[in-house]
Structure 1
Amino acid sequence: MEKGNDGIAGGFNRNSAPSQLRITDIRFAKIAGAPMDCIMIKILTNSELEGYGEIRDWSSETYGLMLKSRLIGENPCNIDKIFRRIKQFGGHSRQGGGVSGIELALWDLAGKAYGVPVYQMLGGKFRDKVRVYSDTDCEGKPDGKKMGEALKKRMGLGFTFLKMDWGVEQLLGEKGALCAPLGYIDELKQYQEYMNDSAPENRDKYKRAYDVINIAHPFTQLQITEKGLDILEDYLATVRSVIGYDIPLAVDHCGHIGVTECIKLAKRAEKYNLAWLEDILPWQMTEAYKTLSCSSAVPLCTGEDIYLKENFRPILESSALSVIHPDILTSGGILETKKIGDMAQDHGAAMAIHMAETPIACLAAAHTAVATENFLALEFHSVDIPWWKDLVKTGMDPIIKDGFIEVSDAPGLGIEALNDEVIREHIHPSSDGIWVSTDEWNHEWSHDRLWS
């Protein structure tokens, strides 16, 4: 066989001698308002290759920093080996962010090292384009007409699947719409203030409200009255009158209410042909989900806070869900999410993917989506953030076009570089800068083995 100009047989350039690749450093950059606070990861190697990942929105970079000493010197192409070593340090919701974000960066590096897109390493494509569903807010106090018009604008941008919030928060200013232990509703209103004023120096002011919102749904004793149910049904009817019935509409953030209230709410929603009710109960409450699914014809969806595929199994085996909804930055990353989708398919459920982060997580989710047969739609929160797409440099312009992502054939995630100028413009106020040294984490150690 003849050698090409690069000295490799047949002229085939393997880019980086993958077997020689080693992790040398890990750096982070925390940005604000994308629309969430997000933490971007850069893994450096002993070559020119960099791998990009991300820690879940509203999480802490400590979940990633603590893994650094366990990664230095490893070959990033040994993804499964590394994942099995570090997955014990992840957990549900934001605690899964470090392990999951690192896993993304490893896949990015492996794809670049071998010169192939991530989806190809997962087994190839079931589809060429990824359907994106648009989560939508509207300014000021929402009403059905305003929300319907906001959703209609999303349709004008080419989105073919929609989602909005619908539930208790819309009733907080309506006298007689909610019933709860006296004082509880005032604390819910305070929590809404906290969400709009979450500067660290002001957190003590809202501590009681924050404690209250962390009470799980069945234990709040919050009830929706008939007046409240009438208001919410009218809201939904008005939204549908504006957008019509041809397009799927999912709803989220129904409120921390117990299963009896969920049943009442779901029954009111049945005639409006919802795509799903999302996270209406804590994901751990399998029996409550089963009760709800047997009491209403509205499809149910949950999963964004579940870590690792084995923790999806109980609720999938219950047949309570129509749609499973992992977030790739909590679930365990790219391969784990692919496995979750396959397991959901075995139990007759579709897989949508939760995503409220930067283009790094978005493209990682898109590669997973094209490689998973029962994929339905990928969430997108940043329609109204003009600089979102500029955080990374890709050959895709725009990343999302007419409500779809056409996944690139470029190596790895398809990200050529991170745009430090844009990242610096949106750096989080609590940060010292972007990509600052993390050397103090180089030698953190513990006896990690889980058996004697």
Structure 2
Amino acid sequence: MEIVDYDLYEVPPRWLFLRVETDTGLVGWGEPVVEGRAHTVRAAVEELMDAYLVGEDPLPVEDHWQTMYRGGFYRGGPVLMSAIAGIDQALWDIRGKHFDAPAYELLGGPVREKIQVYQWVGGDRPDDVADAAREKVDAGYDALKMNATAELRRVDSPSAVDDAVERLRTVREAVGRDVDVAVDFHGRVSKPMAKRLVAALEPHEPFFVEEPVLPEHLDALPAIQAQTSTPIATGERLYTRGDFRDVLETGAVDVIQPDLSHAGGITEVAKIASMAETYDVALAPHCPLGPIALAACVQVDAVAQNALIQEQSLDIHYNETADVLDYLADPSVFEFEDGYLPLPDGPGLGVEIDRDVVEDRAGAVDWHNPVWRLEDGSVAEW
């Protein structure tokens, strides 16, 4: 068997799908994208596919991963690792279909039957969070996540802290103590404000605080952790085992959040998860993306003993023009049951992509995150 062709599709709302075709008719799908940089990652995928994979047997996935990563002198970073990630997903999809088994069976077999999922509420600049939280809980979710704040100054006012606390308080009162409510700082918060916020939010018992500071300031995590007993989560903007090793060795992170479309795909994230387990750190894969990325996440969740919860993007505020289920031939594969997603039992990634729908909607995707500015005109973190 050999790879004979591939296609790339930019599809709304902000995703890039890869279809890899073999001479036996087996097809694998992957989702290689950096949100807002689809064109750039597309070029990287084309370079990797043309240089290393077309004409090759798709089955030795690990060797292909090593070739794509180690074959280039310059390594890592969001663009290259996202390109590798999507290709890796497609290769695992083909490998599973070749052996007529889910990818998780080829990774050692599942340690669970289902994975808890959480649902976003509140949007970029969070508001109406209490009503939205009630709606999601009434719909069957028992875990939620919300942004903590809109843009903040490096050292902001007490009222800015009060506003964040009030939002979480209203959600906690609306849904009670049996529902998990995670709070995402989204890298918007400076070190001094992060220390104040984590302490102020603690009485309302967040499930975890996500990305309290930007990746370039992870050395501040121990000081932030010292202000709270709330679990600290981070990792959506880390891309390799080396990146995660550095943060794990701080001892200040409780939940890691590698993204299966950014951190090297199934091959790399399975290794990151195992590494985190040795530090007694949980896994909660980042996934505000499409159906292929979610399917890849679940393959790793199935085999990772330390998998805690799974992000998914149904009805998320980014998905105004298309949603996760739109591209699936059988949307029932992602039917949640009492806040959990049962493991898909289909071969490969366990989802069937509707190619007709993909081709009908494909075109240049021009999504970019907003650029926010503070009152003085300087750029703020989004």
**TM-score range for the pair, normalised by the shorter chain length:** 0.7 to 0.9
Alignment of 1:4-403 (within 5 A): 21-33=1-13, 37-58=14-35, 59-60=37-38, 61-69=42-50, 70-88=52-70, 91-137=76-122, 142-143=126-127, 146-169=128-151, 180=153, 222-254=154-186, 256-383=188-315, 387-394=323-330, 397-402=332-337, 403=339
Contact 2:185 2:213 in 1 (8 A): no
**C-alpha distance in 2 between matches for 1:228 and 1:389:** 37
- Cα offsets for 1:389-411 (capped at 9, x unmatched): 130224x6151323322222221
Contact 2:126 2:149 in 1 (8 A): no
So what's the TM-score if we normalise by structure 1? 0.74
Larger CA deviation: 232-241 vs 67-76: 232-241
What letter matches 2:139 in structure 1?
L
What letter matches 1:287 in structure 2?
D
Match of 1:422 among 338, 353, 357: 357
Contact 1:100 1:329 in 2 (8 A): yes
Contact 1:22 1:45 in 2 (8 A): yes
**C-alpha distance in 2 between matches for 1:342 and 1:407:** 20
Aligned equivalent of 1:407? 343
What letter matches 1:406 in structure 2?
P
**C-alpha distance in 2 between matches for 1:277 and 1:94:** 26
Cα drift, residue 430 of structure 1: 4.9
What letter matches 1:28 in structure 2?
L
Q: Which has the larger radius of gyration?
A: 1
So what's the TM-score if we normalise by structure 2? 0.87
| SS in structure 1 of the partner of residue 308 of structure 2 | strand
Aligned equivalent of 1:443? none
Q: Percentage identity across aligned positions?
A: 27
Cα 1:429/1:81, change in 2 over 3 Å:
closer
Cα drift, residue 319 of structure 1: 1.0
| Runs of 5+ consecutive residues of structure 1 not aligned to the other structure | 1-20, 170-177, 181-221, 432-452
Contact 1:94 1:305 in 2 (8 A): no
| Runs of 5+ consecutive residues of structure 2 not aligned to the other structure | 367-382
**C-alpha distance in 2 between matches for 1:93 and 1:155:** 34
Cα drift, residue 94 of structure 1: 4.4
The alignment's C-alpha RMSD in Å is: 2.1
Cα drift, residue 159 of structure 1: 1.4
Cα drift, residue 254 of structure 1: 5.0
What letter matches 2:180 in structure 1?
P
Contact 2:147 2:186 in 1 (8 A): yes
Cα 1:50/1:399, change in 2 over 3 Å:
same
What letter matches 1:64 in structure 2?
V
| SS in structure 2 of the partner of residue 414 of structure 1 | coil
Cα drift, residue 63 of structure 1: 2.1
Contact 2:314 2:323 in 1 (8 A): no
| SS in structure 2 of the partner of residue 24 of structure 1 | strand
What letter matches 1:231 in structure 2?
D
Cα drift, residue 429 of structure 1: 4.2
Contact 1:97 1:329 in 2 (8 A): yes
Contact 2:126 2:150 in 1 (8 A): no
| SS in structure 1 of the partner of residue 20 of structure 2 | strand
The runs of at least 4 aligned residues of structure 1 exceeding 4 Å deviation read 384-387
Cα drift, residue 425 of structure 1: 4.5
Cα drift, residue 51 of structure 1: 0.7
Cα drift, residue 374 of structure 1: 0.5
**C-alpha distance in 1 between matches for 2:164 and 2:242:** 36
Cα 1:123/1:224, change in 2 over 3 Å:
same
**C-alpha distance in 2 between matches for 1:284 and 1:345:** 24
